[in-house]
Each structure stands twice: as structure tokens, then as C-alpha cells.
Structure 1
Amino acid sequence: MKAVAKNVVLGAALLVFAAPPSVQSQEISDNLKGSGEVVITSGGGTWEEAQKKAFFDPFARDTGIKVVLIPEDHAKLLASVKLGQPEADITSVPGGALAGFVNKDAVEKVDYNYFTRDTLAAIPNQLKTEYGIGALMYSIGIAFNTTKFPAGKEPKNWVDFYNVKDFPGVRTLPKCEKLVDGGLLEGALMGDGVPADRVYPIDMDRAFAKVAQLKPNVGRWWVAGADAPQSLISGEADVAAAYNGRIFGAKKEGAPVELSWDQSLLQYDYWVIMKGSPNKENAAKFLAYISRAKPQADFAEAISYGPINNEAFKLLPKDLVKILPGSPELAKKQVFQNYAWWNETSPSGRTNWDVALERCVALLSQ
């Protein structure tokens, strides 16, 4: 999903970030200050380093509340919540997974009383839910090999992606387990001419018919996010559905790849507070603190993911803003992925995701 791996093992020891005394504090409202700690799951590596720089250290410094990190393991975390002893106060979950946490009664409602009016006004409505607040934004769009498609002849949208006559070449698409994250059905519908603002509710019959039509031209069905750019670099594919971070990472290393933002899907993760959190108040303060424009800008600059606070874009270099999902100009070309639709449940108890997964597996096995 993201260009940075989030499964790095931190080891058994807890990591605590206390306030560096030499750094001058930012001015914050008194209601965010406190004592004690807040326990947060972390994925380690450069992901954690970016969070440490933008969120953990400044929060500890400015509020007096310690940040304690433990390795991210959602299965273990959910089990601890079920026992009434959550091992962490806060974790982050993909947008499509939030409903599952809510259905398991595993998360608390977000206390927006700690957020300022300015902060809330700057956060898109899709990222302000009853049980989760946006963590970051990322995108999947159409990528291509620039050797195969030089400037002026490149595929620019999903219609072009599915048009193998005018844009010949091998395609690579997400495999079934990645059909939501990989935007398989949304891309297929837009590829069939459905306007971006009419993608939802998804017409599965029409979407799968379009995928079936392209199937002979798909050389690889990818699972890992790194597979798509690698396929373009190796020549295994010429056009790909790919994550923006993966493509820009490869491009930065000199690979002949490029991404089109037209009709790209705007995707996002949520921060959630675990049910029964022993530090619920501190957790709410943490989320309110890091959702402000400055921490969001610092995080985006450290790791190149889109901030969830629109005011943050004003604090970032213009060259960086141009490649951040959700930025004012790019957002006009993008489509917010509708996780609520994917998690809708039929009378049979099956979600739209369950149904789509079954149909996808059947299609690819033919």
C-alpha cells in the first residue's frame, strides 16, 4: 500500500520519546497539555523516523506527555482489546479496515473537543469520522514506462489504460486480495467511460466485464506494491496500476517511469483510539495535536505522503506539493475512494468487498 514498509520489528523493548529540553516549544492551547503517557503502535524504519520527527518528539516536548511505542500487530492488539486490556491506546488502520474495527467494538469515538475550529475546518469530511481521524493520504494511479510511451504519447487516464489499440502494451493490475487498495473496479469503471463522480455505487457486473475484456493483455497480477514499478522497469509490463510513492521512489532512483494523476484514487488511513484505552484523554490530545497544519507539513516533508490538513500545503515547498496526494491542484483530478461503500453489508451479512473478492477470484481462475 505504501512505499515505506510498516512491518519492521522494533524488538521487545518499548520506546519512549520524552521532550528534548533544548528545543523551543510551539505555542499550543493549555487543554492539550498534561502528564503521564500515551501508547502508540509503530511500524518502525523510516516510517517511524518521520513520525518521531513530526509527531512524537514535538508532542512530548510541547505537552509534557510521554509517547511510548510498541510494535504494530493488529491481531495481537485486537485480542488485547477483547480481554479488556488494550496494549496500546492508538493505532493506525487503512481506511477500508476501519469498519471492521468498529464492528468488533474495538475503538472509541474520537473526542473532537480537543481539536480547534481551524484544524477541523481544514480537514476533508471523509477524514473526520466518528471513530477515526485521518492519518495520511496516498494514491494509486496509472503509471507507465517512459521509454515505451514518451511525452505526448503517454496514457493519461483509465480510458487510456484500457485502450490497448491506441496505447498498445502489456498491463499489470492488482490481484484479488488487493482489489480495493489497487482500485481494480473503480479503474475498470472509469476505463469504461463512467464519470469519476458516478463511480459509486460500483456496478460490479460492468466493472468485472471490463476487467475480463482486458485480461488477455494483463501480464502480471501484482500483490506487493513494489511489483508494479518493478514490472515496468523490467519490461514485463508497459502500463501499470501503481502507488504514487512506489513510482516516485523508482523515478528518484533513475527508473524510466512516470505517473499520471488523472483519475487517480485518493486513499487514506485513519488513527483510532482503542476501546478501553487507559490513556484515552492523552490519546485524544495526541490526535488533536498532530492533526494541526505544522505537524502535518513536517510529516509530509519527511516522508512524501499527503497531509490530512489542507492548511499544511501552504507550509510546504511548491515542488513537493506538486507530488503530494490530496494537494489542492491534484485533488481536482483525483477520486476519493469510498470505503463506506466497500464496507456496506447486505442482509446476508456479506460486505461489498466479500462479494467482489469472490467474483474476482472466480474471474482470474478462468
Structure 2
Amino acid sequence: MALTKRLALRAALLLAAFPIAAQSQDIPENLKGTGEVVVASYGGAWEAAQKLAYFEPFTRDTGIKVVLVTPEDGQILASVKLGQPAADIDSITGGQLSGFLNKDAVEKIDYSFFGKETLAGIPENLRHERGLGAVIFSVVVAYNTNKFPEDGKHPKNWADFYNVEEFPGKRSLPSCNAMINGGLLEGALLADGVPPQNLYPLDMDRAFAKLKEFAPNVGRWWLSGADAPQSLINGEVEIAAAANGRIASAAKEGAPLALSWDQSLLLYDYWVVLKNSPNKENAFKFLAYISRPEPQAAFAKAISYGPVNKDAFKLLPKEVADKLPGAPGIAEKQIFQNHDWWGHTNSDGRTNLEVAQERCFAELAQ
């Protein structure tokens, strides 16, 4: 059996061993219903953790079936424009929200389905009128420990990532469409010597110059977050920009992977309900259900991402909480990604993200 298949099987068995998130009797009547809700999901350990903590308990406790779809690149916004959204719910980065708002692609979230205690546990900036905090995670420098032993010389920051003389081997970087989730421009600028405190506003000219110079060393431009750890496991690359939780999950199951928190980027995603969703009410019920502390804690136990509801930390063992993005000892090494800059709308109506992606496709020929 291939290593990746063995890891997937082990992950499924391990996740099954976690306690279920919440019991049926704890669920408010207003969250129960019938029918389905269609959720865009993106595979790997991320999806496995969501199934454990969110999807399966939600269906069990409410009677509403969760249907998963994996939209192709660009399909979500195109489907909304046609009036036939490919899903009821999608998760997007904080920097993407402005672009979705500009295109009138998302519904207002009906917070009346949420319990008062649930809302009190979610920070105000993650309770947007049209977006609800989904997860807090980090983009890290990850590496294969067969090539770079954890107790020996290994890459620790973005300067090391771009240093192929000291750390030879192919790299995995996010594709143009995944540039926010993979910290593409931020990593290039930090490697080029920009101090973290001077990172924003991002100097696109300098970033793309660095990336074009470095491009021959890239063995995989990843689109899905699951691609980065897989490219490390199968030997396609030796070092990757990756989400911390995916690397930690693979390492827990025996993959020869490790990560460094130095100069890691701290990000957050939003859940959005797509415009004209056919199962809109069920979508609001789903978001209200998974935002409670118990499902949030179950998700954090299953994959090393920070919960959005701060009350979930009360339910987490110290050894789990201490390894989450933003935890004491980790936060001091991290850099907050500036979602406001990425989402800023310019005079031509395009966000900085849209401008950067257009340049990326043109200059990196992806």
C-alpha cells in the first residue's frame, strides 16, 4: 500500500477515536430540520477533520444531510453569477471577502440562529455581516526530515526556503489562485530581506522579481492545501510552504515531515453563504451549530488549527492548545497576514488580490 494511502487510512482510524463533538440533547430545536446543505470542501486532513467535528455530528443531531462538493478553480464565483451556486457554503480567506462582496456573491448571515453564548465567544472581527470566522491557521516552512533531519541543519524561515545553495532541493509554492493561503508574496519579500514590520503594503514589483528568479527551483505549484504535504511525502519536493495543520497531521501519522514556526504567517478564513443558495436556512443552521465551543474544540483536536470560538480553549488539553497557531511561545515568531490590504478595493474596482493574481498569471506563466 502506498505511503499516502496508508496515511489516509491511519488518519481515518485516529480521527474516529476522538470523542464526538456534541450530544443530540444539547442541540437547540431551532437548528433541527430536514433536507440538505451543500458545502464546498477541499480534501485531505482538512476535510477529514471537518467530517469528524462538523459534518457527521451536524447530520446526526439535526437531521440535515451535508453534501460535499469540490468545485474547480473559479467555479464558485462563476456559478453564483449564473444564479446557480455550486454550493450553499464555501470557505474563503479573509483577504478574499472584499472581492466576493464587490461581486455581490454572498448572503447576509442570519445570526438569529446563533445562541447568545456562541456569539459572545466569537471575536467581533470574525462576526462579519456576510462572513463568519471559519478557522485560524498558519502558513509555515515545512520540510522532509529524510533530507533535513529535525535535529540537524534544516530550513527555519523564508530566507532558508529560498536558499538552494545551503538547502538544496525542489520547493513547493502556492499557485496564483492560492497565493493568499500559501503566503506567496509575503514569503518572497521576507526572503528578499524585507523586515516583518515593513511587510505591508506589499511591494509587488519586488515580490514578483524574486519569484521569477526562483521559479526554476519550484517542483510543484500547489492549488489545494493537500498538495503541499503530498508533494513532500512523495519526494516531488524537499521543502514546501504549507498549512501547519496539514503538516502536523501527516507527521502524526508517520510521514517524515516537520515544520518551523519562524516567520510563519497567521491567517484566518471566513465561511460564506453564497448568493441565492437553495438551502440558505440550513446553511445558517450549519454555521450556528459548528460555531459552538464543542465542535470547535473537536476540530482543533483533529487538526492543529486554532478555534474561532475562544470558549473552545476551555475544552482543549493544554498539550493541544499549546501547539495551535497564536499560542504563547508560537505567537512571538509569527506575522499576521494583513487581510485588509489584500481586500482593499482600488479605484478601478479591483482588489489588491485580483491585481496580484493577474500579475501572477502573466509573470509566472501558470
TM bucket (normalised to shorter chain) is: 0.7 to 0.9
Partner of 1:160: 160
1:91-170 alignment runs, 5 A limit: 91-116=90-115, 118-150=117-149, 151=151, 153-163=153-163, 167-170=166-169
Distance 1:332 1:42 in 2: 33
- 1:38-92: CA deviations, max 9, x gaps? 6232549776664454334544665x56345363548777677557676864343
Counterpart in the other structure of 2:8? none
Shift of 1:362: 4.8
Match of 1:354 in 2: 354
The alpha-carbon distance between structure 1 residues 56 and 168, as it changes in their structure 2 partners (threshold 3 A), is: closer
| Counterpart residue number, 1:338 | 338
1:257 aligns with 2:241: no
Is the radius of gyration larger for structure 1 or structure 2?
A: 1
Query: What SS does structure 2 have at the residue aligned with 1:41?
Result: strand
2:69 to 71, 89, 94: 71
**Which position in structure 2 is the counterpart of 1:207?**
207
2:4 is aligned with 1:40: no
User: Does structure 1 residue 274 correspond to structure 2 residue 274?
Assistant: yes
- Structure 1 residue matching 2:330: 3-state secondary structure: helix
1:208-227 matches, cutoff 5 A: 208-212=208-212, 214-215=214-215, 218-224=217-223, 225=225
Aligned to 2:19: none
The answer to whether the 8 A contact 1:33-1:65 is kept is: no
Q: 1:279 to 1:189 in 2, by over 3 A?
A: same
Q: Secondary structure at the match of 1:138?
A: strand
Amino acid at match of 1:71: V
Q: Is the alpha carbon distance of 1:195 and 1:69 closer, same or farther for their aligned partners in structure 2, counting shifts above 3 Å?
A: same
For residues 331 and 41 of structure 1, what CA distance do their matches in structure 2 show? 31
1:207-227 Cα deviation digits (max 9, x unpaired) = 2343345456x2424225455
CA contact (8 A) 1:173 1:184 kept: no
Q: Is the 8 A contact 2:247 2:258 kept in 1?
A: yes
Whole-Å separation in 2 of the counterparts to 1:89 and 1:215: 37
Higher RCO (C-alpha under 8 Å, 6+ residues apart):
2
Identical residues among aligned pairs (%): 57
1:49, 1:221 → 2: CA distance? 23
Please tell me the residue identity of whatever aligns with 2:221: W
Q: Distance in 2 between matches of 1:288 and 1:169?
A: 47
- Aligned pair count reads 342
Deviates more, 1:77-86 or 1:333-342: 77-86
| Alpha-carbon contact 1:297-1:312 (below 8 Å) kept | yes
User: Paired residue for 2:53?
Assistant: 54
Moved more, 337-346 or 129-138: 337-346
Pairing of 1:292-331 with structure 2 (within 5 A): 292-327=292-327, 329-331=329-331
Distance change >3 Å, CA 70–CA 161, structure 1 → 2: closer
**How much has 1:323 moved relative to structure 2?**
4.2
Per-residue deviation, 1:281 = 4.8
What does residue 186 of structure 1 align with?
A: 186
- Where structure 1 has 5 or more consecutive residues not aligned to the other structure, the ranges are 5-22
Q: Is the Cα contact below 8 Å between 1:173 and 1:182 reproduced in 2?
A: no
Aligned-pair CA distance for 1:120: 3.6
Deviation at 1:105, TM superposition (A): 1.8
Q: CA deviation at 1:279?
A: 5.6
* Residue 90 (1) aligns with residue 89 (2): yes
> Secondary structure of the equivalent of 1:259?
strand
Structure 1 pair 328–28 and aligned structure 2 pair: CA distance change class (3 A): farther
In the TM superposition, residue 334 of structure 1 has moved relative to its aligned partner by: 2.8
Contact 1:155 1:161 in 2 (8 A): yes
Q: Which amino acid aligns with 2:103?
A: K
Kept in 2: contact 1:94–1:270 (CA 8 A): yes
Distance in 2, matches of 1:118 and 1:290, equals 13
Whole-Å Cα distance in 2 between the matches of residues 237 and 359 of structure 1?
25
Q: When the two structures are superposed, what TM-score results if normalisation uses the length of structure 2?
A: 0.74
| Deviation at residue 187 of structure 1 after TM alignment | 0.9
Do 1:41 and 1:70's aligned partners in 2 also have CA atoms closer than 8 Å?
Answer: yes
CA distance in 2, matches of 1:259, 1:70: 30
Q: 1:121 to 1:263 in 2, by over 3 A?
A: farther
Q: CA contact under 8 A between 2:229 and 2:247: conserved in structure 1?
A: yes
Inter-partner Cα distance in structure 1 for 2:58 and 2:91: 17
Aligned-partner Cα distance in 1 for 2:128–2:344: 16
Structure 2: gaps spanning 5 or more residues: 6-21
Structure 1 counterpart of 2:161, one-letter code:
F
